[in-house]
Amino acid sequence: AQSVAQPEDQVNVAEGNPLTVKCTYSVSGNPYLFWYVQYPNRGLQFLLKYITGDNLVKGSYGFEAEFNKSQTSFHLKKPSALVSDSALYFCAVRPTGFQKLVFGTGTRLLVSP
């Protein structure tokens, strides 16, 4: 079965510190990988995606993610967290041959001042 795991329900980090939100996947083929962010009472907003090429992908708001094929991971990172980064983050995968995405269960990021 195709699946995406976000092992942490919540990540706490102090403002100015680096942050990592973890994502691992179990899908066949060469998947497309995505990160989305959701603020309260809003829809999901696209942050970044990996299709092919350089394993380090840069996205919106200073976020980046590293694709690691051997570890089947796609962790989201930011060098210096902001309080305004506090939100719900979703990892998603498009398995080869699929026309829809498989979403993780989400990780709440809380950045304290």
Partner 1 sequence: EADIYQTPRYLVIGTGKKITLECSQTMGHDKMYWYQQDPGMELHLIHYSYGVNSTEKGDLSSESTVSRIRTEHFPLTLESARPSHTSQYLCASSDRREAYEQYFGPGTRLTVT
End-to-end Cα spacing for the chain? 41
Looking at the Cβ atoms of 82 and 88, the one nearer to partner 1 is 88
Q: Which stretch binds partner 1 (CB under 8 A): 13-21, 28-36, 57-65, 70-78?
A: 28-36
CB-CB contact of 2 with 95 (8 Å): yes
Q: Which stretch binds partner 1 (CB under 8 A): 11-19, 66-74, 78-86, 101-109?
A: 101-109
Question: For partner 1, what does the binding mask look like between residues 40 and 79, x meaning CB under 8 A?
Answer: xxxxxxx--x-x----------------------------
- In DSSP notation, 12-70 reads EEETTS-EEE--EEE-SSS-EEEEEEE-TTS-EEEEEEE-SS-SEEE-GGG-EEEEETT
Please report how close the Cβ of residue 16 comes to partner 1 at its closest, in angstroms.
25
Decide if residue 36 touches partner 1 (CB under 8 A): yes
Binding site for partner 1 (CB under 8 A): 32, 34, 36, 40-46, 49, 51, 88, 90, 92, 94, 98-101, 103-106, 108
